[in-house]
Structure 1
Amino acid sequence: MNVVATILAAGCSSRMGTLKQLLPLNDIPVLQHVIENILVHPFYKIQVIVGYEALKITSSIPVDDSRIEWIYNPHYEQGLSTSFLTAFHSLSNSNSAVMFFLGDQPFIDSRVVSSIFQKSLVVLNQTTDPFVIRPVLDKKPGHPVLFGHFQSLDLTLVKGDCGGKELINSISNKILIPLTSSTSFFDIDTPEDYKLARQIRL
């Protein structure tokens, strides 16, 4: 079995007004923090989906790990769903599961990632049907989201800028991992968010 990590980082950062993937936190770009948080886990492969300013992003983030694969989404302006589809179409049928991360969430707790990862290995051995695992905080779901046995999923449900919401709703086997801290869910979308992010200890 092998589990792939996918980081969605193709957006235009329109609400931020500047390329948020490369905004520095402790002198390290936001997206690089996300990547480095994932590298410590035993993922088979790590896909980073880029689009807007792709060359600038890939040339600004030095990552020395053979598992990293930069993938360009030429349709990034059409919404988050195009990055989901780019990621799914880049996977192999031999991949057992894929865990999706957002490129603007640098504070995801490593213990949460480990919990989802380890739970997926158990469930992969128990069923051949599709399943989804995601964290929740006060009944609010967030990322990362893992899809197991994804090969039979109906990808036509992935549309617009809603990402995988409808796809998740179509899966009957949903497994929730409860969180106790909101930091993992913190998105850096606006200048106000970035100001707050600089006050959070990494």
Structure 2
Amino acid sequence: MTRIGAIVLAAGLSRRMGEAKQFLPLRGKPLFRYAVERAIANDLSPVLLIGGERSEELRRLTSDLPQVEVLDNREYATGMASSLRVGIEAAGGRVDAVLIFLADQPYVPDEVVQALIRTYEETRAEGTKIVRAFYEDTVGHPVLFDASLMEELRQVTGDQGGKDVIVKYKTHTKKVSFDCGDWNLDVDTPDDYRRIQEMDSTNQEQ
């Protein structure tokens, strides 16, 4: 059985938002919970939630989820790559692959997670090392990385996450396309937050 874990990146500074976006409420729970719950619902293990200056708050808000391991990124101010390194280090030796989720994307459904995993399992023997989601031809998250790339992912720096590794292994990457662009929405600015609140209100009325 393929062992696939999840790394949820929730240590960002949210400079464009002006406050910690991962804790903004949507439907009665903080944004980061949506990615965490998708990982749990799809039996990913371990589920590694990477926090920065508010890691203790993440622990408090996941105290009902024993599957979740909250990890501290003390270098969170240096960018996304530092959080990715923390997660990759913790996942080493425990998984065959990991899915990288962003804490500010509440609309990624089980369908996406399952399709990425299925594609990986079906093509792994052919040399697939990365599986990426595309929403209406726009690249998005989550992204799946084979465990053979972990050493290289430990070397990433800056705020680009695993972009350099993705570029290097372009010929070993599978693309999975989805027609719903809303699934790829992330919350970077106050306008983004207002938009998803309006969308959510509209969906509830329908």
Higher helix proportion (structure 1 or 2) = 2
Identity of aligned residues (%): 27
- TM-score, normalization: structure 1? 0.90
Q: Distance in 1 between matches of 2:191 and 2:87?
A: 30
The one-letter amino acid of 1:107's match is Y
* 1:169 is aligned to 2:167: yes
Question: Relative to 1, partners in 2 of residues 1:94 and 1:62: Cα closer, same or farther, differing over 3 Å?
Answer: closer
Shift of 1:51: 0.6
Which residue of structure 2 lines up, in the alignment, with residue 190 of structure 1?
Answer: 189
Q: Which runs of 5+ in 1 are unaligned?
A: none
* 1:179 is aligned to 2:205: no
- TM-score, normalization: structure 2? 0.89
Contact 2:46–2:91 (CA under 8 A) maintained in structure 1 = no
Q: Which runs of 5+ in 2 are unaligned?
A: none
The one-letter amino acid of 2:145's match is F
Shift of 1:138: 3.8
Cα deviations by residue, 1:2-46 (Å, 9 ceiling, x for unpaired): 000110000111111112111111121111122122221021211
Q: Distance in 1 between matches of 2:55 and 2:168?
A: 32
Which residue of structure 1 lines up, in the alignment, with residue 135 of structure 2?
Answer: 137
Shift of 1:152: 6.0
Q: Distance in 2 between matches of 1:74 and 1:8?
A: 13
The one-letter amino acid of 1:36's match is E
Q: Distance in 1 between matches of 2:150 and 2:114?
A: 25
CA RMSD of aligned residues (A): 1.9
The one-letter amino acid of 2:54's match is E
The one-letter amino acid of 1:68's match is V
Number of positions where the alignment pairs a residue of Structure 1 with one of Structure 2 = 199
Question: Relative to 1, partners in 2 of residues 1:148 and 1:155: Cα closer, same or farther, differing over 3 Å?
Answer: closer
Which residue of structure 2 lines up, in the alignment, with residue 117 of structure 1?
Answer: 117
